[in-house]
Amino acid sequence: MHPRLRASMGRFLTSLLVGVVWAGWHLPLFFIDGTVQQKLGLDTLGGLLFAVSTVPMALLTGYAYERAG
């Protein structure tokens, strides 16, 4: 996903989009009993921070991906 998007969107926007997709990927876990995300709750500060943290993590992993070649 990253190399194809990077070619058309650039590094920053690609990492930003990957972060949003990553947050969406984890969204169903907030509704499954027994998961850490469900225990955090989507409507709490912890749940919000979990969802928002995927964007900076995607920026960091995108940078690492670029550096690794």
- Count CB-CB contacts under 10 A for residue 51: 20
The answer, yes or no, to whether residue 28 has pLDDT greater than 90, is: yes
The tally of domains found in the chain comes to 1
pTM of the predicted model as reported, rounded to 2 decimal places: 0.76
Q: Which residues, 6+ apart, have CB-to-CB distance to 37 below 8 Å?
A: 26, 29, 30, 47, 50
% the chain with pLDDT above 90? 39
Helix boundaries (H) for 1-69: 2-9, 11-26, 36-40, 45-68
Q: State mean pLDDT over 27-50.
A: 89
Q: What percent of the chain has pLDDT over 70?
A: 99
The residue segments making up the domain with residue 56 are 2-68
Token duo for residue 62: 């995108």
